[in-house]
Structure 1
Amino acid sequence: MSNIDWSPLCELIGAHQKVLLSCHVRPDADALGSELALAGFLKQLGKDVRIINPSVQPKGMDFLVGDHEVRHVGDGVTTEDFDWAEIHIILDTSAWSQLPGLANFYRKTKSRKVIIDHHVSSDSLGAEEFKDVTSPATGCLIFDLGRALNCELTPEIATFLYAAIATDTGWFRFPSTTSYTMQIISELIRAGAEPHQIYENLYEQNTLPQLKLMGRVLGQVQTDFDGLLAYTIVTCEDFSATGTTPVDTEGLVNYCLTLAGTQAAFIAVEQRSRQVKVSFRCRTDWDVSKIAESFGGGGHRQASGAMLNGPLSSAVTKVLGKFREMFETSEKTDH
């Protein structure tokens, strides 16, 4: 069980009818799966539920959305859409930087604001927070909330939560995975989640352009600090040459961490705006969230991200400097 007392939120939900759900920009399976699962629970209680996110979900998440209406800022969303809500729940983030576009609407509404999250990085969003940074996924928190609300775990909701938890635990290989995580997974499978189908939908839908991009990106992997760090870059030219977009780099940083002896990794992705999105990964003994936070980003100890100003070469140099500090500090501590 999470360390959260859900009773105040259950009472809040019970006292209101209209609930708006939102998550972070470029929603992953944990964010989107948690949203859709919570929407399902709330509808069982007879609530009116809408979902509006900062951006459209990556195409790889479309199988989760299905026929459900998930709107995003920029597709005709107005202030009235936010004023409609009596409760506005933000899932899987506590950071303003993860709510571009949506933050302006969020600040202006008079709805009761709620955060459900498991990330360490946090801003003050003026909300009632239901956070557990020891939880491996927001999906685990929504599972517990659904139980607290006495809701039914349907096959569809089980699928949403399985996708959420499986992806944020690295398919159960990250240290955050616990015996309770697997108890939840067991219940989700019993309720109708199909692991093989979910995995296929998430990881076995690559296009030929995506594979060609992967080849270019992995061909540029470099190491530093005596092999402790592995990293690679992706340029706008790479996207043009392969017919891909920055969304197609999702997950590529994890390949860098498979290199023997590597303790940390990052991928720097040039955006059309010439900003640089950097994704960080590391093994258990390290903490890349501090590096991400130094650039205005955030996330988990082992998986974080940030957006830096370009050019690409300058951003990479800055990131390497932060890793140098991290490794040198560790050496001093060890001695």
Structure 2
Amino acid sequence: MNYLNEAAIQSFKTFIDSHDAFYIAGHKEPDGDSISSSLGLAEILTLSNKPFQLLCAGPFKRTEIKKYEKQFLKKPKPFSHEHKKVGFFIVDCAEYERVGDFANELQDLDSFIIDHHRTSDAIKNGILDIEAPATSIIIQLLYEHFFKTMSKKIAHIFLFGICTDTGFFRFLDEKSSLVFEAVSRLIKYGASPKLIYEKMTGGKPFETRKLLSILLDRAERTFNGQLVYTFETLEDTKKYGKKGRDSDALYQVFMAVDKVKAVFVVRQDTDKTCTAGFRSKDDLDVSIVAAKFGGGGHKNASGASYTGNIRDFIEKILIEMSKIIS
């Protein structure tokens, strides 16, 4: 399986060649793949002698990406007058609203999207490959097409993005040989899976362990044990904070339970808004449920937002989950 074809490569090169400077942005509430995709693309532009600005609306909640926050601007700054043709790269998402409010300032610019999410709309200009397990691997392959060597630093960044979006390879199957071939090249350049795993799983505040115990205690099973869900209140957030939330550990604990096919966690973010994260196994497509609430993501890992309270959101999610769980 090839995540890039000649037409995609040529369209990418044409976009770079036809612009003088670039903005690069990923989605709000960034994860490792969004950050790595942005940084990897920035390296391509650096080696192509093209000026750029890295943008991210934040917040940088995850401990493993916090160190990169200082490299990103919250809002775009104007380029000098000598740069008459400015382009806008959007990575790891395809919707302007997911980028953040500053995207409105850039919507008149030529744009090029690089993404791998199945819930992304058809794009006019860019590369969308839902078979790719991470946007980072698409950009890695672009990098390798144009440049014959890679620094240890950039190899580490690409591997970090791939590892975070594949759950450190847990979500890959027998069709994923291309991924492991790409990863082996990154390791040859000096990227360390061991260090990345430690970065992904370590450094969590002690309070996050307390919060995990509360969410575990609240968990309920339904649909003959096939679905587990729990929730986090505003009071929980005030007491234990948002820093270093370990959602992945929570999902892993629930998904390891016998008969469980799907998990969702709802959080009350403000008095009027909630978010939900979904995980599933095999062919159970939770992106269908997320899309019902304007969200999206992957077949087995998606998210959504909702205006209202936890209880109402959970009830509506359960109705939608009943349509996909037999």
2:42 is aligned to: 39
Residues 16-49 of structure 1, C-alpha deviation per residue, up to 9 Å, x if partnerless?
3312100011110001011111111211121112
2:163 is aligned to: 166
Q: Distance in 2 between matches of 1:56 and 1:28?
A: 10
What amino acid is the match of 1:18?
Answer: A
What amino acid is the match of 1:159?
Answer: H
3-state DSSP of counterpart to 2:209: helix
1:105 is aligned to: 105
2:53 is aligned to: 50
2:73 is aligned to: 71
Query: Given the alignment, which residue of 175, 178, 192 partners 1:194?
Result: 192
Q: Distance in 1 between matches of 2:137 and 2:25?
A: 17
- 8 Å CA contact 1:96–1:123 kept in 2: the answer is no
- 8 Å CA contact 2:295–2:302 kept in 1: the answer is yes
Distance change >3 Å, CA 23–CA 118, structure 1 → 2: same
What amino acid is the match of 1:193?
Answer: A
- Residue 147 (structure 1) shift: 1.7
2:313 is aligned to: 315
Query: Given the alignment, which residue of 149, 152, 155 partners 2:149?
Result: 152
- 8 Å CA contact 1:7–1:148 kept in 2: the answer is no
Q: Distance in 2 between matches of 1:135 and 1:279?
A: 21
Q: Distance in 1 between matches of 2:102 and 2:79?
A: 11
Distance change >3 Å, CA 82–CA 267, structure 1 → 2: farther
- Residue 54 (structure 1) shift: 2.4
What amino acid is the match of 1:322?
Answer: E
Q: CA RMSD in A?
A: 2.2
Equivalences for residues 4-43 of structure 1 within 5 A = 4=5, 5-43=8-46
Distance change >3 Å, CA 266–CA 133, structure 1 → 2: same
Matched, 1:132 2:129: yes
Distance change >3 Å, CA 25–CA 81, structure 1 → 2: farther
Distance change >3 Å, CA 262–CA 104, structure 1 → 2: same
- Residue 129 (structure 1) shift: 2.0
Structure 1, unpaired ranges of 5+: none
3-state DSSP of counterpart to 2:71: coil
- Residue 59 (structure 1) shift: 4.5
- 8 Å CA contact 1:276–1:312 kept in 2: the answer is yes
- Residue 254 (structure 1) shift: 3.7
> How many residue pairs align between the two structures?
319
Q: Distance in 2 between matches of 1:29 and 1:263?
A: 25
- 8 Å CA contact 1:246–1:271 kept in 2: the answer is no
Q: Which runs of 4+ in 1 moved over 4 A?
A: 81-85
Q: Distance in 1 between matches of 2:80 and 2:299?
A: 33
Farther-moved stretch of structure 1 (196-205 vs 4-13): 4-13
3-state DSSP of counterpart to 1:121: coil
2:93 is aligned to: 93
3-state DSSP of counterpart to 2:28: coil
- 8 Å CA contact 1:95–1:121 kept in 2: the answer is no
Structure 2, unpaired ranges of 5+: none
Q: Distance in 2 between matches of 1:61 and 1:14?
A: 34
Q: Distance in 2 between matches of 1:161 and 1:130?
A: 17
3-state DSSP of counterpart to 2:245: helix
Between the aligned residues of both structures, percent identity stands at 26
3-state DSSP of counterpart to 1:6: helix
2:291 is aligned to: 293
Distance change >3 Å, CA 213–CA 266, structure 1 → 2: same
Farther-moved stretch of structure 1 (49-58 vs 312-321): 49-58
For normalisation by structure 2, the TM-score amounts to 0.91
Residues 115-135 of structure 1, C-alpha deviation per residue, up to 9 Å, x if partnerless?
00001112466x512111100
Distance change >3 Å, CA 72–CA 255, structure 1 → 2: farther
Query: Given the alignment, which residue of 202, 205, 227 partners 1:204?
Result: 202
For normalisation by structure 1, the TM-score amounts to 0.88
2:267 is aligned to: 269
- 8 Å CA contact 2:204–2:244 kept in 1: the answer is no
3-state DSSP of counterpart to 1:199: helix
Distance change >3 Å, CA 213–CA 155, structure 1 → 2: same
- Residue 253 (structure 1) shift: 3.2
3-state DSSP of counterpart to 1:35: helix
Q: Distance in 1 between matches of 2:271 and 2:64?
A: 24
Q: Distance in 1 between matches of 2:245 and 2:255?
A: 18
- 8 Å CA contact 1:63–1:201 kept in 2: the answer is no
Farther-moved stretch of structure 1 (284-293 vs 83-92): 83-92
